[in-house]
Every structure is written in structure tokens, then in C-alpha cells.
Amino acid sequence: MSSDQMSHEALEELIVADVLDGLDEADRTRLWAELRRHGPDCAECRRLLEEYGEVAGALASTVSPVALSEGAEERLLAEARRSAGGLRSRRQATMVAVAAAIALIAGSLGYALAPRGPAVPSSFLAFVAQPGTRVIAFPATGGQRLAVAVRAGQRSAWVVGTGMPTPPNDRVYELWVQPTASSGVQPAGTFTPKDGRVVAPVTVGSSFVALAVSIEPPGGSRQPTTQPIFLTKT
Amino acid sequence: MEDARDHDLVRRVKQRDEEAFRDLFRRYGPLANGLAVRMVRHRFVAEEIVQEAFLSLWRDPAAYREERGTFRSWLMSTVHHRAVDAIRREEAQRRRSREAEPAELVLGDIGQSVVEEVDAASSRDQVRAALQEIPAEQRQVLMKMYFEGRTQSQVAEELGLPLGTVKSGTLLGMRRLKAMLLEDHS
């Protein structure tokens, strides 16, 4: 170790945090710069990284194992076979899209609302995974949560929700958009929850200043006939 | 013994041995999933993280080098990195959201699907006991960083501690754990 290199004691303080993925970005940059300066053959650096890596790994063992879903093993093997055959990129792209979709929705509204499982339309996942997608959340009402995923300049959008009761007498929820502050509202699409959940395509117009949801007769209305139960300005 | 078996399985994975890959998944998939679920608190996201971690091994088995530690630690580290990424992405989205309600836990049926193994339970008890041996403040710092994906600055802010205290707590706590978990048994 040369005199201008960080000491191993100082490096240790960075390494213990790094193996926990807890370093702030500046410290992480500093750590990796120092590790490069010490070089890949620095036995003490390797020892610290290995030993503290094992300690971090041991922390993982404090959690109870959780069985994976049925079919997870076969899905993994099928993907591995495809991977070996050169189809990795499509799988990766799909998984990235799914992860992005979930992060986007979960990040805005909490994990409870995040779409999951095979029932989620792939077109929704594809939409929400695109760059520039924004999630507009209505203020929560009791256990009811509702949001609209939109993309600037696009008319198509998706409404997602959870804890939504089914309206009585075949009535439906209807989404309304207000294009400008001085204009009235326009219908953007109807939807009905299934088991309390909603993932439905709607059409919002390329720009708007407010969104609202009301309960309307079957098929929807041209103008709201009841007070909005959700309302948010954008 | 277990390490030797893991190393053998990984060597076979390098030779594209599907059965070895399956064995590793059966052996560590539930634990990896337990870690991911604990961190991201969403079963679907957790399972995607675990699947991607195993696929990364299949695609590039050389990424794991046995001279640098156990396979178990390498896999858990891989899962942990991905889970932390998911947590930080989610938090960034939440910060941008006007409605920042706490995420709900989706843990409903975990209790029914817990898989217990005797040796794993023994290891778990040992690490849990070691964690109880370190001062509560150090333990809290380590747990927030590891299981909640917090950086040291975030931990300092959340716990109302000086950053220097968090850094020294991390160091002292990890040193103590290392002494109890590695050196006492070497």
C-alpha cells in the first residue's frame, strides 16, 4: 500500500456499509476508486470484502424462507432454456417492463395497488413501462384507492384501483377529464371493479387540468349525473 | 460440506447442467424469496427478483467465484442488490407522488407457505442470537440498511442520529457480528 492510499481501517468503514448496500453514492464512488488504487491483488482488501460479504449473507439467513409460487421452477427453467437459445432479450425486456410497471404504480399508491399476476393485461404493462408514464393518484377514500396512468401527449391511459366496491344495479364508474380550467368535463371511459380491483383502459385527451370519477348508469353518461366520488386537479 | 456441494452444483451449471441449476433453485430459492419478500414486501416483485438473480447465474455462471466466498452469500447479495434497487425506485416514485401514503404489506399468505429446514433454522437462530448481542442502536442501524434498503444518510435522518454515529455504528456492529459469526467458528 502506498502512502497516498486510503488505509485498510478507513476502507473497512466503507466496506461494511457497502456489503449492506448502504453506502451513499459519494462514499461508494470513493470506495471503488480506492479499491482500484489498492488493486485486485490486495490481499487485505479481498479479505475484508469476503469476510464482510459473508456477514451480510448471514443476515439474509435471519429471514424465514418463503415458498415460491407454483410453477416458478418450471418458469425459471423454461426461461433458462430460452436464454441459452438466444431469446434472452425478449424475456429481459418483458421483465423490465413488468418491474417498471409495478414500481411505478406501487411507488405512487403503495404496494397494495400494484398490479400483479397473469390477470394483468400485457398492454397495460407495456403502457406503464414506457418512459414518461406518470401516475396521477386520487386522494384515497377509506380503503378505496384509484389512480390514472397517463403519458404526455397521448390520449390513451389506464385507470387502476383497489378496494373499489361494485356499484349497485349494474351501474358503472365513469372517469371524467376537464381539458382546461374554463371548460366543462368530458367522458373518458367507464369501468367496473373485479374483486375490488380495477385495471382498465380509458381515453383522457392529450392534456387536462382535472380528473374526476362518478357512478353512472350502465354504459356511462355524457355528463356526470352524480357527485364525483374522486376528484383531483393536475 | 454444504459449500462443497454448492460449488459442485455451480461447476455443473457452468457446464449447462439443468438438473444442477434446478437443485440450486430448490435449495436456495425459498430463502432468496424470503429475503426479497421481507425487503420489497410484494410477493410478485420478490419472485421476479429471485428469478432474475438465478437467471443471471445461468447466463453468466462465472460471475460467482468460489474463491471469493460462499455461493449462498453471493446469491443473497445478488438478490439484495436487486431488492434495494426496487425499493429505491419505489421511493423515488413515491417522493414524486402527491399522495405519499405508507405502502401496505402484502404478506397475507406467507405464513402458509413458509418452508422450514432444520439446518437453515439452526443458522437462523445463530445469527439472530448474534444480532441480539450487539447494542440496540447498532442493530437498528444495520437492520435499516440491510432490510429496508436505506443508505447511511437516510438511516441518520430517520433515526435522528449524526451521520458519524451511523457510520461508526455500522462498523462496530459489523465487526462484532463478524467476530461472533465467523471468527468464533473458524
CATH number at residue A144: 2.60.40
DSSP state of A142: T
Give yes or no: residues B40 and B93 share one domain: yes
Give yes or no: residues B24 and B93 share one domain: yes
- Among the partner-chain residues B45, B58, B182, the one whose CB lies closest to the CB of A99 is B45
Give yes or no: residues B91 and B60 share one domain: yes
Residue A111 included in any domain: no
Sheet containing strand A230-233, strands side by side: A186-191, A172-178, A210-216, A230-233
Instruction: Please answer whether residues A64 and A28 qualify as being in contact, where contact means their C-beta atoms are separated by less than 8 angstroms.
Output: no
Which of the two residues, B60 and A154, has the higher pLDDT score? B60
Give yes or no: residues B38 and B84 share one domain: yes
pLDDT at residue B15, as a whole number: 86
Residue B153 included in any domain: yes
Q: What is the mean pLDDT of the segment spanning B23-38?
A: 94
Q: What is the mean pLDDT of the segment spanning A33-59?
A: 90
pLDDT at residue A141, as a whole number: 73
Give yes or no: residues A56 and A139 share one domain: no
Residue A89 included in any domain: no
Lowest-pLDDT range, A80-94, B49-63, B110-124?
B110-124
pLDDT at residue A122, as a whole number: 63
CB pairs under 8 A between A and B: 242
Give yes or no: residues B174 and B128 share one domain: yes
CATH number at residue B64: 1.10.1740.10
Q: What is the mean pLDDT of the segment spanning A22-43?
A: 90
- Among the partner-chain residues B52, B69, B76, the one whose CB lies closest to the CB of A50 is B69
Lowest-pLDDT range, A2-16, A153-167, B38-52?
A153-167
Domain boundary among B115, B141, B159: B115
pLDDT at residue A131, as a whole number: 65
Domain boundary among A21, A42, A60: A60
- Residue A111: pLDDT band with limits 50, 70, 90: very low
Give yes or no: residues B5 and B87 share one domain: yes
Residue A24 included in any domain: yes
Cβ-Cβ contacts under 8 Å, B54 against chain A? 76
The chain-wide mean pLDDT, for chain A, equals 80
Residue B15 included in any domain: yes
Three-state SS at A151:
strand
> Best-predicted range by mean pLDDT among A117-121, A141-145, B78-82?
B78-82
Do the chains contact at A103 and B89, CB–CB below 8 Å?
Answer: yes
Residue A2 included in any domain: no
Residue B167 included in any domain: yes
Residue A32 included in any domain: yes
Do the chains contact at A107 and B97, CB–CB below 8 Å?
Answer: yes
Domain boundary among B63, B89, B115: B115
Residue B58 included in any domain: yes
Give yes or no for residue A117 having a pLDDT over 70: no
Which domain, by its residues, includes A161? 133-233
- Among the partner-chain residues A27, A65, A135, the one whose CB lies closest to the CB of B34 is A65
Which of the two residues, B183 and B128, has the higher pLDDT score? B128
Domain boundary among B70, B87, B115: B115
Distance CA B97, CA A103 (A): 12
Residue B103 included in any domain: no
Give yes or no for residue B132 having a pLDDT over 90: yes
Give yes or no: residues B30 and B58 share one domain: yes
The number of distinct structural domains making up chain A is 2
Give the chain B residue nearest A162 (alpha carbons).
B104
Distance CA A175, CA B175 (A): 57
Q: Residue B127: name the closest of A22, A47, A54, A12 by CA.
A: A54
Give yes or no for residue B130 having a pLDDT over 80: yes
Give yes or no: residues B20 and B94 share one domain: yes
Burial pattern B67-102, b for ≥16 Cβ within 10 A else e, equals: eebbbbbbbbbbbbebbbbbbbbbbebbeebebeee
CATH number at residue B164: 1.10.10.10
pLDDT at residue A31, as a whole number: 92
ipTM of the complex in this document: 0.82
Cβ-Cβ contacts under 8 Å, A95 against chain B? 48, 51-52
Q: What is the mean pLDDT of the segment spanning B20-25?
A: 94
Burial pattern A59-71, b for ≥16 Cβ within 10 A else e, equals: bbbbbbbbbbeee
Give yes or no: residues A140 and A227 share one domain: yes
Which of the two residues, A96 and A132, has the higher pLDDT score? A132
Give yes or no: residues B4 and B87 share one domain: yes
Q: Rg of the Cα trace of chain B?
A: 18
Give yes or no: residues B91 and B123 share one domain: no
Which of the two residues, A135 and B138, has the higher pLDDT score? B138
Which domain, by its residues, includes B160? 116-186
Cβ-Cβ contacts under 8 Å, B151 against chain A? 22-24
Q: What is the mean pLDDT of the segment spanning B45-62?
A: 89
Residue A33 included in any domain: yes
pLDDT at residue B151, as a whole number: 95
Give yes or no: residues B133 and B85 share one domain: no
Residue A70 included in any domain: no
Instruction: Please answer whether residues A157 and A201 qualify as being in contact, where contact means their C-beta atoms are separated by less than 8 angstroms.
Output: yes
Sheet containing strand A145-151, strands side by side: A133-137, A145-151, A156-162, A198-203
- Among the partner-chain residues B42, B74, B124, the one whose CB lies closest to the CB of A114 is B42
Give yes or no: residues B26 and B90 share one domain: yes
A185-201 pLDDT tens trace: 899 999 998 877 788 88
Q: What is the mean pLDDT of the segment spanning A141-149?
A: 79
Q: How far is B49 from chain A (nearest CA, A)?
A: 9
Residue B105 included in any domain: no
Q: Angle formed by the axes of helices B43-59 and A72-84, to 10°? A: 40
Residue B32 included in any domain: yes
Interface-testing mutation among B6, B24, B45, with chain A (most A C-beta atoms within 10 A): B45
Residue A171 included in any domain: yes
The number of distinct structural domains making up chain B is 2
Residue B104 included in any domain: no
Cβ-Cβ contacts under 8 Å, A52 against chain B? 174, 178
